[in-house]
Structure 1
Amino acid sequence: MNHQQIEQYAAGADTVAQAIRGLSRQEFLATPVPGTWSILQIVVHFMDSDLIGADRMKRIIAEHNPTLIGYDETAFSQRLFPERLDPFQAAEVFRLNRELTAVILRSLPESAFNRTGQHSERGQVTLSSMIQNYVEHLEHHLRFIEKKRSLLGNPGADHTGQSAR
């Protein structure tokens, strides 16, 4: 297991809050590209996904080859009322979950990162591959937030903290 991978995972904790800084409620709800998620839906998806991911990682650590159930992210976005949630609270839940999960990951022996679970859609996954998946997932969706902010005329800073102007 690459300790750099754990630190990369942990470093993502505050990036959601940084990515949404300075947005208005109207901008959170806007869909500048028709048929795509709003920034608020993406932020709530980050929270949901990371909470589910932390559960999966903990189960791989604590249980013997557990079954990891997939979920329908579109159904979550359509049926769990993301528009009623505060994006800043969702970003804070994301941050706290990442930070606390990173404490657990840093405490593990090297051998733990080869432990496996059986994902209902992807088959066998290792703890190490799960961590990498959530690092990449964050990067993937942060690009969407940056693009939407730019289309809304409020580019802010990119997820690296650099001015997007």
Structure 2
Amino acid sequence: MSQPLEELKYPIGKYDPSVEITNQQIQDWIAVIENFPQKLASAIEDLTDEQLKWAYRPNGWSIKQVVHHCADSHMNSFIRFKLALTEEQPTIKPYSEDRWAQQADYLDVSPDESLKIIEGVHARWTVLLKSLNDNQLNRTFMHPEHRKIFALEQVIGLYAWHCNHHLAHIEQAMNYNYRF
């Protein structure tokens, strides 16, 4: 392993929240979110059960765990969008991603089940995202773990990055095949 751990953890780099947010940028991010289910399904469609156990870095999640994490993370994000659109600056509920990744549904369930969730969530999420006007894009929620207020337009960028981040993890796992 010649790559530093930080590069293995963030193969496309960390999310840069300082990116200028334009209408075109938002549309580009929404397209990433819209196309993610198909790209993810393609990335794992021919993998064996053994390959699904490969991790993207030492002590990292397996490909199977990454897929299940994306389903859970994106469901949570969709709900956070709905909360921000229907309540005044709600405080969202964080969750322990690492602990979730150790549960039986991550370890013993086929990633195909999470692909179904991702397909449905992203279909609805994309419709919602495309419908947002400028006022709605500026709606916010409070993330207590980060002690920060997030505008929905920022979160769209974060989740476009999140999609590409985990697709890169899967590609990396296939190249390095660390055993889980």
Q: Does the pair score TM above 0.5? A: yes
Quick one: percent identity of the two aligned structures? 27
| From 108, 125, 132, the counterpart of 1:108 | 132
* Aligned mates of 2:104, 2:79 — CA distance in 1: 19
* Aligned mates of 2:86, 2:106 — CA distance in 1: 31
Deviations 1:35-90 (A, max 9, x none): 12110011101111000111111111111111112211101011353121111121
Partner-residue secondary structure (3-state), 1:78: coil
1:138 aligns with 2:163: yes
1:16 aligns with 2:49: no
* AA in 2 matched with 1:141: H
Q: TM-score, normalised by structure 2?
A: 0.78
Contact 1:29 1:83 in 2 (8 A): no
Partner-residue secondary structure (3-state), 2:61: coil
- Identify the residue that residue 160 of structure 1 maps to in structure 2: none
Q: Which moved more, 1:24-33 or 1:137-146?
A: 24-33
How far does residue 11 in structure 1 lie from its aligned partner after superposition? 2.1
User: Structure 1: which 5+ runs fail to align?
Assistant: 153-165
- Identify the residue that residue 123 of structure 2 maps to in structure 1: 99
Partner-residue secondary structure (3-state), 2:102: helix
Contact 1:17 1:92 in 2 (8 A): no
C-alpha RMSD over aligned residues: 1.7
* AA in 2 matched with 1:53: S
- Identify the residue that residue 51 of structure 1 maps to in structure 2: 75
For residues 35-46 of structure 1, the aligned pairs below 5 Å read: 35-46=59-70
Partner-residue secondary structure (3-state), 1:25: coil
Q: TM-score, normalised by structure 1?
A: 0.84
* Aligned mates of 2:61, 2:131 — CA distance in 1: 36
| From 153, 158, 174, the counterpart of 1:128 | 153
* Aligned mates of 2:75, 2:93 — CA distance in 1: 13
